[in-house]
Amino acid sequence: MGRVKTQFVCRHCGYRVSKWLGRCPGCQEWESLEEETLPSASASRRGAPVMAGRPRPLSEVAVEDLGRLSTGLEELDRVLGGGLAPGAVTLLSGEPGVGKSTLLLQAAAGLAGRGKRLLYITGEESAAQVRLRAERLSLDLSRLWVLAETRVEAIAEALDNSQWDVAAVDSIQTLTSEGLAGAAGSPAQVRESAARLSALTKGRGLPLWLVGHITKDGSIAGPKLLEHLVDTVLYFEGDRERSLRLLRSFKNRYGSVNEIGVFEMTGSGLGQVVNPSALFLSERPAGASGSVVAPIMEGQRPLLMEIQALVSASPLAMPRRQALGVDSARVGLLAAVLEKKVRLKLFDRDIFVNVTGGARITEPAADLAIVAAMAGSWADTPAPDSTVFIGEVGLAGEVRTVAHLEARLREARKMGFTRAVVPPAEAKKVAAEGLKLHSVKSVSQLLREHLGFK
């Protein structure tokens, strides 16, 4: 027996140091380091799969057909990279109440519909509560399997037969492993429980879901500390006031990290939003000045978003520049371009810019639309009907090329738009059936040709 070794682990980000510090060097959180005893080497190796390895050329490595399982939820499958891969460990992170348990239960039902059995292990709620939720979701109760258990060894025993196709733990922060000090939710318990379960399920090729709560108060260890340990990290986001939920992959060993899935929380569970553009545009006012549509890339997926601007005379010595859903520094910069390059008087105006639907845009490809919205509102001229605006705007007022133009145009066409204002070089290059392309070189050309400026 060697000496008992200890280390200090940050509850938030998992950063490890050998001695206690008041502030975590990883995430700068105060008083977040907790002491833990390192498991002995033999204990931590137990259960880990042994790789039978000899060096060989890659060409001799067999790539087995991954045989992914569909969850029946297309939005979820796409974010996963085409369904659940065998043995993949997926961490589903999100704030309490966002809908993680609901998503898992609906996925369980989808799998059941395909003849696959998911064992839903609940440590958070009682089996009866899970049943109530499933009833609310009108799912077929006889095909859903639940186990209310928080001891990792008992869970391992339950998984120790071949009747399961998928295992799900809700949540990882409720589990405890034997022989480990610390309460459920402590960094050591969270990490060790996840490691033991994933070693077990990987050995059997069983996909494993781990739900992880993101909490602000730091009373339990956050899911961040598991991110290096799992194959796929999904974030489920959305605010409580609005029903929209976005599922993003942050890390994915089995697919792209650029996919997003869009859901809507309804009275009877999560509905898939197959056509998010329609949702973002659903209440768009017809013929109103200052409302402009731009196709924005969310990962690989184009989405049409409505950008609104309100430019009005300001009673203030320092007029307001406020932006929601776009970077306000960007809005300030584009306003300066309008002042300088087309002599639009904005210095005595309040400027408000908003992306409807609570969406966020970080792409410069929205510049042209923001400029069109501001200029349109200033002049009280509606942007031309059925037109989308695409392009980055430089400080000289020039309109610049953006990536993924074809995908953006395709989405615009799909949503019934007939015209697109695009950067100069692009109009010739892309095929855009059914869509009339108008290229503009500069902001002043945009204003003259499309917003009725003289």
Which range, of 110-118, 151-159, 266-274, 308-316, touches ligand TYD by CB under 6 A? 266-274
Query: Looking up tokens 């990962």, which residue turns up?
Result: 299
HSE at residue 379, side-chain half, CA atoms within 13 A, is 19
| Binding residues among 361-390 for ligand TYD as defined by CB under 6 A | none
Closest-by-Cβ residue to Mg ion is: 101
Largest CA-CA distance found in the chain, in angstroms, rounded? 87
Among positions 10, 200, 265, 374, the unique one binding ligand TYD when judged by CB under 6 A: 265
Which neighbouring-strand residues pair with 233?
Answer: 91, 251
> Closest approach of Cβ 100 to ligand TYD, in Å?
3
101 binds ligand TYD (CB under 6 A): yes
Nearest CB to ligand TYD, comparing residues 25 and 97: 97
CB of 87 to Mg ion, least distance (A): 24
Interface with ligand TYD includes 222 (CB under 6 A)? no
Residues 6+ apart with CB under 8 A from 63: none
Q: Of 94 and 261, which CB lies nearer to Mg ion in the complex structure?
A: 94
Q: How many Å separate Cα 394 from the centre of its chain?
A: 29
Q: Which does 99 bind (CB under 5 to 8 A by kind): Mg ion, ligand TYD, none?
A: ligand TYD
Nearer to ligand TYD, 104 or 432 (CB): 104
29 versus 125: smaller Cβ distance to Mg ion: 125
Kindly state the smallest distance separating residue 124's Cβ from Mg ion, in Å. 5
Q: Which stretch binds ligand TYD (CB under 6 A): 78-86, 92-100, 328-336, 401-409?
A: 92-100
Laid out side by side, the sheet with 244-252 consists of 145-148, 118-122, 166-170, 208-213, 89-94, 232-237, 244-252, 260-266, 269-272
Q: Which of 69, 85, 98, 166 binds ligand TYD (CB under 6 A)?
A: 98
Question: Among residues 101 and 193, whose Cβ is nearest to Mg ion?
Answer: 101
DSSP helix/strand/coil, 2: coil
Task: Provide DSSP, 393-443.
Answer: E-TTSBEE--S-HHHHHHHHHHTT--EEEE-TTHHHHS--TT-EEEE-SBH
Q: Is 100 in the site for ligand TYD (CB under 6 A)?
A: yes
Let me know: does 112 contact 144? Beta carbons within 8 Å: yes
Using CA atoms, how far apart are residues 50 and 71, in angstroms rounded to an integer? 30
- The entry of Mg ion, ligand TYD, none near residue 269 (CB within 5 to 8 angstroms by kind) is ligand TYD
Residue 123 touches ligand TYD, criterion: CB under 6 A: no
- Interface with ligand TYD includes 138 (CB under 6 A)? no
Number of C-beta neighbours around residue 144 at 10 A? 20
Q: Which does 438 bind (CB under 5 to 8 A by kind): Mg ion, ligand TYD, none?
A: none
- Tell which one of 137, 156, 199, 257 touches ligand TYD (CB under 6 A): 137
When the beta carbons of 103 and 260 are compared against ligand TYD, the nearer one is: 103
Q: Does 143 bind ligand TYD (CB under 6 A)?
A: no
Cβ at position 131, least distance to ligand TYD in Å = 12
Is there binding between residue 99 and ligand TYD (CB under 6 A)?
Answer: yes
Minimum CB distance to ligand TYD smaller for 242 or for 429: 242
DSSP 3-state of 370: helix
269/384 with CB nearer ligand TYD: 269
Tokens of 442: 């500069």
Instruction: Provide, rounded to whole angstroms, the least separation between the CB of residue 254 and Mg ion.
Output: 24
- Residue 269 or 295 having the CB closest to ligand TYD: 269
- Nearest Cα residue to 93 out of 78, 107, 103: 103
Complex with ligand TYD: residue 142 or 268, whichever CB lies closer: 268
Closest-CA residue to 295 (of 433, 419, 439): 419
Binding flag, residue 97, ligand TYD (CB under 6 A): yes
DSSP code string of 49-107: PPP------GGG-------PBP-S-HHHHHHHTSSBPTT-EEEEEE-TTSSHHHHHHHH
Backbone angles phi, psi at 184, to 5 degrees: -55, 140
Q: Is 442 in the site for ligand TYD (CB under 6 A)?
A: no
CA distances 167 to 156, 161, 163, 207, 214, Å, are 10, 12, 11, 6, 21
Residue with tokens 């060697």: 2
Q: Which stretch binds ligand TYD (CB under 6 A): 20-28, 108-116, 155-163, 263-271?
A: 263-271
Beta pairing, strands 89-94 & 208-213: parallel
133 binds ligand TYD (CB under 6 A): yes
Interacting residues toward ligand TYD by CB under 6 A? 94, 96-102, 133, 136-137, 265, 267-269
